[in-house]
């Protein structure tokens, strides 16, 4: 199974990508920190550096090409920041990804909680 993992350069996303790779899945990972994604290459994962807040729906559809599922782990979870920042990253980016998943025909979409 090929799975897109968002937020794969830290926290939950990194753990999700690592677990999926160890289980033998193909992973296309995305995150904002390209330097932190170097470990993905040793597991033969593909990586696209992308800030989902700035990405278009079309860019998100491209990320999902040939993917069977999306595991959405990207989020703003810090203890600081404005309501607008949290809304843009956590709500609008998730909405964009779900729209892209529908357009790309991705059968499964799992989000962070």
3-52, pLDDT tens digit by residue?
Answer: 999 999 888 999 999 999 999 999 999 998 888 788 888 888 999 999 99
Using alpha carbons, list the distances in angstroms from residue 35 to 4, 8, 54, 68, 82: 19, 12, 19, 27, 27
Q: Do residues 111 and 72 lie in contact, with contact meaning Cβ atoms separated by under 8 Å?
A: yes
**1-10 confidence digits (pLDDT tens):** 999 999 998 8
Residue 42's H or E segment, with its range, is helix 38-42
The enclosing domain of 87 has a CATH number of 3.40.50.720
Q: What is the pTM of this model?
A: 0.91
Based on the structure, what is the number of domains in the chain?
1
Q: Which residue range is the domain that position 104 belongs to?
A: 2-111
């Amino acid at each position: 199974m090929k799975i897109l993992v968002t937020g794969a350069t830290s926290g939950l996303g990194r753990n999700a990508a690592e677990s999926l790779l160890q289980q033998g899945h193909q992973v296309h990972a995305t995150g904002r920190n390209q330097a932190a994604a170097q470990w993905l290459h040793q597991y033969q994962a593909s990586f696209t550096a992308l800030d989902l807040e700035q990405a278009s729906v079309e860019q998100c559809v491209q990320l999902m090409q040939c993917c069977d599922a999306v595991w959405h782990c990207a989020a703003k979870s810090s203890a600081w920041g404005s309501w607008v920042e949290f809304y843009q990253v956590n709500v609008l980016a998730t909405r964009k990804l779900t729209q892209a998943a529908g357009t790309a025909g991705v059968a499964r979409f799992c989000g962070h909680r």
